[in-house]
Amino acid sequence: MKLTIHRNRRGAAAVALTAVLALTATACGDDGSGGSGDEGSGKGEITFWDNNGGVRTPVWEKIIAEFEKKNPDIDVKYVPIPITDVQSKYDTAIAGGGLPDVGGVGTAYLANMVAQDALEPVGDRIESGALKGKLSEQMAESVRSAAGRGDEMYSVPTSANQGTLWYRTELFEAAGAEPPTTWDGFYAAADKLTDAKKNKFGFTIRGGAGSVAQALDMMYAQSGVDTFWNGDKTTVNDPKNVAALEKYVGLYKKATPEADLNNDFAKMVAQFGQGEIGMLQHNLGSYTDHVKAFGEGKVEGIPLPPSAEGSPRTIVSNPVDGLGLFKSSKNKTAAWKFIEFAASHEMNSLWNQEAGSIPANTDASGDAWISEVKPVKAAMESLNDPGTKVVQLPYYLPDWNNISKADSEPDFQKLLLGEITAKQFADGLAEKLNEAQAEWKQQQ
């Protein structure tokens, strides 16, 4: 028996064609990105994307509640975005439309967003508003430098982080070791606190995601090389930096657990919090985790030591977090009001107190909580010390993230495993950076 399906083929074809055309038409619609937006009425709803959503949600909810109380005509729709994927979320929204009015923007990916023409320049708004003269010059400079568009600012800095050497006071006391205020002291303590047979280690090294940024912190702080570029060539492979890198990676397996090879920050901080590890180098942001793990007073954080006793401190510019105003916003007046409010003295202080980082609003620097949180106080003092040299990392290079992460982190693991030398690693990194810099200059 053979059956034939009776089907209206023309009808089916027409339906299929209509569906295809409808989808094509919708896909070709105006994506809304790159539009000039509108100043708007200064009332109504604005959308805010938090680039470190979840972890900072409670403090943002407080700030938004305060803002809405003072501005009853404006509603802020809060959207938490996981930090691990914020860049791809922004990229998709830039390409497909649907950007918010205000978004958290870090200097690590600021250049990428500026290059895609997504952000509104905010220099004039700062100069003519309540934030004039209130923002840390160091952070403002980091924001300008990261955008790579001369003196223009494309985000309002709200906080900064800084590489910090965390150490467990009770382990140091038990071993009779001195706090690591010099590099010799640091290496001596790492050695003294290590007893691998008892699973005790002096230090935990970051060998996985984020390893290169952290290694740069350690290299420049030890070497005292105070600029990232020497003409058009990077100083990453300066002999002093190579020597510092060699010493730093020499700690692997000697004074650190072997499993550190795959450490990202979460594993590293968890390991520090769970095990018998004397020291950890990570930024101020993990302060609350350490206090939760050990309790107040059982862990201290100090800035990375200067290259030699008495010489100025050299610190690498850590990413500065900020708030960006999006070009496509249809209500820029209300959006800017929110940015100004969030970066004001009281709110900026509140946010940074919760985050344990350095406030950008200079009025907040004298607030009581800063003297109570010693690591933040010490970091601020070192940052504001006129003698301190800040090495500005080239966040403005469109390839910076690729070079410092995907391209170089596997090489750093090879370096830890002894498959390449510190010089080979530094030369390889320098070559990529020099090429990227030359390309960037050509495009300017």
Partner 1 sequence: MTAALTETDARRTAPPSDTPVIPPKRRRRRQRAFDEVPRWQIYLPLGLYLLFTLVPFYWMLLFALRPAGSTSLVPWPITFEHFEKVWNERSFGVFFQNSMLVGVATLVTTTLIALAGGYALARFQFRVKNAFMLALLCSQFIPGALMLVPLFEIFRNLSMINSLGSVIIAETVFQLPLSMILISGFIKNVPVSLEEAAWVDGCSRLRAFRAVVLPLLRPGLIAVGSFAFVHSWNHFLFALMFLSEQDKQTIPVGLNTLIGADSVDLGALAAGGVIAAVPVVIVFAFIQKWLITGFSAGAVKG
Footprint of partner 1 (CB under 8 A): 1-5, 7, 23, 26-27, 29, 31-32, 47, 49, 52-58, 77-85, 88-89, 92-93, 95-98, 100, 106, 161, 265-266, 269-270, 273-274, 282-289, 292-295
If the CB atoms of residues 360 and 429 are measured against partner 1, the closer one turns out to be 360
Closest to partner 1 by CB, 30 or 173:
30
CB of 286 to partner 1, least distance (A): 5
- Amino acid at site 245: L
Q: Measuring CA to CA, which residue among 322, 319, 301 is closest to residue 382?
A: 301
Least separation, in Å, of the C-beta of 208 and partner 1? 14
Output 87 or 307, the one with its CB closest to partner 1.
Answer: 87
Shorter beta-carbon distance to partner 1: residue 53 or 324: 53
Q: How far apart are CA 371 and CA 289, in angstroms?
A: 19
Contact yes or no for 290/273 (Cβ under 8 A): yes
For residues 213 and 394, give the distance between their C-alpha atoms in angstroms, rounded to a whole number.
Answer: 12
Smallest distance, Å, CB 90 to partner 1?
11
Asked if residue 96 lies in contact with residue 26, where contact means CB atoms within 8 angstroms, the answer is no
**Beta-carbon contacts of residue 415 (< 8 Å; ≥ 6 apart):** 245, 249, 421, 422, 424, 425
- Work out the burial of residue 241: count CB atoms within 10 Å of its CB; fewer than 13 is exposed, 13-18 middle, 19 or more buried: buried
Q: Do 156 and 339 contact (CB within 8 A), yes or no? A: yes
First to last CA, the chain: 75
User: What is the SS3 assignment for 206?
Assistant: coil
C-beta closer to partner 1: residue 180 or 210: 210
Nearest CB to partner 1, comparing residues 91 and 346: 91
What would the 3-class secondary structure string for 123-189 be?
HHHHHCCCCCCCECHHHHHHHHHHHCCCCCCCCEEEEECCEEEEEEHHHHHHHCCCCCCCHHHHHHH
CB of 87 to partner 1, least distance (A): 12
Query: How far apart are CB 381 and partner 1 at their closest, in Å?
Result: 20
Q: How far is the CB of 74 from partner 1 (least distance, A)?
A: 18
Q: Least distance (Å) from partner 1 to the CB of residue 276?
A: 10
CA-to-CA separations, 65 to 68, 75, 214, 322, 332, in angstroms, rounded: 5, 9, 37, 20, 20
Smallest gap from Cβ 326 to partner 1, in A, equals 13
For residues 411 and 406, what is the distance between their CA atoms, to the nearest angstrom? 9
Helix (H, G, I), strand (E, B) or coil at 339: helix
Q: Using CA atoms, how far apart are residues 342 and 50, in angstroms rounded to an integer?
A: 12
What whole-number distance in Å separates Cα of residue 377 and Cα of residue 379? 5
SS3 73: coil
CB of 80 to partner 1, least distance (A): 5
Tokens, residue 271: 């390991």
Residues 200 and 193: beta-carbon distance below 8 Å: yes
Smallest gap, in angstroms, from Cβ of residue 36 to partner 1? 19
Instruction: Tell me whether residue 49 or residue 187 sits nearer to partner 1 (CB atom).
Output: 49
Smallest distance, partner 1 to C-beta of residue 426, A: 26
Beta bridge pairs of residue 46: 76
Residue owning tokens 């390839």? 399
Q: How far is the CB of 334 from partner 1 (least distance, A)?
A: 18
